[in-house]
Amino acid sequence: MPAIVMVLIVGVLFYLGYRYYSGYLARRVYALDDDRPTPAHTMRDGVDFIPTNRHVLFGHHFTSVAGAAPIVGPAIAVFWGWGPALIWVVAGTIFAAGVHDFGAIVVSVRHKAQSIGTLTREVVGTRARVLFLLIIFFLLTLVNAVFAVVIGNLFVANPEAVLPILLEIPLAIGIGQYIYRTRSAALVPSLVGVVVLYVTILLGQALPISLAGIAAEDGLFTERNIWVVLLFVYTFIASRIPVWVLLQPRDYINSHQLFIALGVIGLGVLVGWDTIVAPVVNDQAPADSPSWFPLLFVTIACGAISGFHSLVSSGTTSKQLDKESDARYVGYFGAVGEGSLALGSILACTAGIVATTADWHAAYSDFATASDGATSNFVNGVGHFAANLGVPEATAVVFAAVVVISFAATTMDTGVRLQRYIVQEIAEIVRIRPVSRSLTLSGLIAVLIPLVLALLPGGGDAGYTFGVLWQLFGTTNQLTAGLALSVIAVWVTKNRRNPIAVLVPLVFLVVMTTWALIDNLITFVAESEWVLAPLDAIIFVLAVWLIVEAALALRRARGVARDDAGDPQPTELTER
């Protein structure tokens, strides 16, 4: 099948989802009201609370939630065939991610733009706040571990990309200093930064950087592991400096890279008229391969639904919403953008990397190989699409590697910083004051735990550890999404509106997540994985805890809705 056919079909489905289903959510579920002033107006401070044009806010929101995750997950999951992966990306985007991201913005806006953590305590209960912190702790730990491995693998496979990524750091700092000192808009400087970054690709091709000469061929100090250690040293330092110095200006640069990458994929598929050579369902997978049901639904987390999005929706986006109706465009359409990136990953790994079905089966011979080669397959596929547009293929591959590494590095920067906040908050709750009040101690904890996971023995170049860690990341991400959906469902129920649109993805996520956790736990115990087995067991306990808390909160919400049914006066949690 020509790849452009898949693009057109999915494009139409995404359009219909936004046009009709998000319209239903806006009118009947979330009951948007533009006459109600948003916190961006009522709490305007010129710093965090600022009414923002919806197109500008969409750009901020989309680039904040999109990254390497919707690339890696689908690039692994096509091992089971492009059919199951595509169905989950499309259905998950339309009926789960859109509901989740859209709803998180609305509920936060209706509660003075409070974060999902605070909302969990107020809407669901105090115990749920502890649940939230624990789930986020594991989510960020796994995010930082898996993306360190992603970057390390790409540095080893693409030494030409190392120098451009290293030069992006002083480039971003320079742009940040310019914007900060001149109070200039970020658009023009960041566009100049993108141009300079891509010029350095030529320099990287001339001066590739490899650590193979100082690395061991196996054991702890392989080339990839040395890169992983260096990455965590860097992120420890980066998490200590103000966000405007490095993180924000690099986000400006990467936001343009995101749209450029999507444009290259779409135009490359059209111009090259590439054909999808992967099977709809992979019937040649080895007998001992993990089952796609339920593991597909945690392997593809971002790109279908991601709990991390609720942190952004309720953290920064809700504080900048000009009017309530903008939440539909920013939240739901932002989820469609993430789904489009996942679609691009599927296309790159099924139509871009090889020309024949036999070659594809060689590239995806088993699950370990699929996991280990996921990012490289995406990079090579995008490189092929860029080559269709006239870019020399060697340069195009480095371009794709720079894009993925930039996304992953930004995710790590943000993840380690957020992890430090979570460590400090947990330490404050349990009254460990030296940790809660020390940036150094909390920062060390934030980097050492994921560093240990990233260096776990047993994976090496075979990719087993990475594949397992990615599944555990997916489960914690889906648990975070489940927690956010439970908050949204309780709020919708208290407001005497039908919560079925929220409850369906909530129940589906909880079932798939707990099923996947049990499946993985059995495997870990059978294979004596005594580091991963306890970690899986802890996440499983959190999943059960989430089910109980959500059920109790919904029961209380139905009671409140019944009690208020005859009361025409608005309450704190009802519509005007």
* pLDDT at residue 572 in the model: 40
8 A C-beta contact, residue 130 and residue 352: no
| Cβ partners under 8 Å of residue 35, min gap 6 | none
Q: What 3-state DSSP class applies to 52?
A: strand
Q: What is the pLDDT along the chain (576 residues), one digit of tens a residue?
A: 899 999 999 999 999 999 999 999 999 999 999 999 999 999 998 768 989 889 878 887 887 888 788 999 999 999 999 999 999 999 999 999 999 999 999 999 999 999 888 888 888 878 888 888 888 899 889 889 988 988 998 999 999 999 999 999 999 999 989 988 888 888 899 899 999 999 999 999 999 999 999 988 877 889 999 999 999 999 999 888 887 788 778 878 888 898 899 999 999 999 999 999 999 999 999 998 999 999 999 999 999 999 999 988 998 899 999 999 999 999 999 999 999 999 999 999 999 998 899 999 999 999 989 988 899 999 999 999 999 999 998 999 999 999 999 988 888 888 898 899 889 988 988 889 999 989 899 999 999 999 988 887 654 444 445 677 888 889 999 999 999 999 999 999 999 999 999 999 999 999 999 999 999 899 889 988 887 889 899 999 998 998 898 899 899 888 877 776 655 444 343 333
In DSSP terms, which residues pair with 321 in a beta bridge? 52
Q: Which residues contact 537 (CB under 8 A, 6 or more apart)?
A: 521
Find out whether 82 and 300 touch, Cβ atoms under 8 Å: no
Mapping DSSP to helix (H, G, I), strand (E, B) and coil, where does residue 61 land?
Answer: helix
- CB count in 10 Å sphere of residue 555: 11
DSSP 8-state symbol, 96: I
Any domain includes 545: yes
CA 69 – CA 303 distance, rounded (Å) = 8
C-alpha span between 86 and 274 (Å, rounded): 17
The amino acid at 346 = I
The separation between CA 383 and the C-alpha centre of its own chain, rounded to angstroms, equals 23
- Is 573 among the domain residues? no
Contact 9, 269 (CB under 8 A): no
Residue 570 lies in a domain: no
CB 387 within 8 A of CB 417: no
- All residues at 6 or more sequence positions from 553 whose CB lies less than 8 Å from its CB, including other chains: 123, 124, 125, 128, 486, 490
Q: Which amino acid, one-letter code, is at 63? A: T
Whole-number Cα distances in Å, 467 to 75, 330, 373, 413: 11, 32, 10, 22
Q: Is residue 57 one of the residues assigned to a domain?
A: yes
For the domain that residue 381 is a member of, what is the CATH number? Answer: 1.20.1740.10
Q: Would 27 be classed as within a structural domain? A: yes
Element (H, E) at 472: helix 464-494
What is the chain's alpha carbon radius of gyration, rounded to the nearest angstrom?
23
- Given this model, what pLDDT does residue 180 score? 82
DSSP per position, 194-237: HHHHHHHHHHHHHS----GGGS-SSSS--HHHHHHHHHHHHHHH
CB 17 within 8 A of CB 98: yes
Query: Would residue 569 count as lying in a domain?
Result: no
Sign for the pseudo-dihedral over CA of 492, 494, 495, 500: positive
- Tell me how many degrees the CA angle 395-398-404 measures, rounded to the nearest 5: 145
- The Cα 16–Cα 309 span in angstroms is 22
Range of the domain at 57: 3-564
Is residue 413 within a helix (H) or strand (E), and if so which, with residue range?
A: helix 393-429
- Is 575 within the bounds of a domain? no
Question: Rounded distance, CA 271 to CA 351, Å?
Answer: 13
Instruction: Report the SS3 class of residue 284.
Output: coil
Quote the CA–CA distance of 323 and 16 in Å, as a whole number. 23
How many independent structural domains does the chain possess? 1
What's the confidence (pLDDT) of residue 40? 95
SS3 of 185, please?
coil
User: Contacts by 428-431 with C-beta closer than 8 Å and gap 24+?
Assistant: 429/130, 429/133
Residue 507 lies in a domain: yes
Tell me the helix, strand and coil percentages in the chain, rounded to 5: 75, 0, 25
**Diameter over CA atoms, the chain:** 76
User: Residue 356, by phi and psi: left (phi above 0), alpha (psi -120 to 50) or beta?
Assistant: beta
Distance between CA 491 and CA 565 in Å, rounded? Answer: 15
Q: Cα separation of 201 and 407, whole Å?
A: 16
Distances (CA, A) of 134 to 117, 122, 127, 477, 478: 11, 17, 11, 12, 14
Task: Find the angle CA(90)-CA(93)-CA(94) to the nearest 5 degrees.
Answer: 85
Q: Rounded to whole angstroms, how far apart are CA atoms 267 and 509? A: 34
Of residues 554, 548, 535, 552, the one with CA closest to residue 135 = 535
State the pLDDT at residue 463.
Answer: 43
Distance between CA atoms of residues 214 and 551, nearest Å: 55
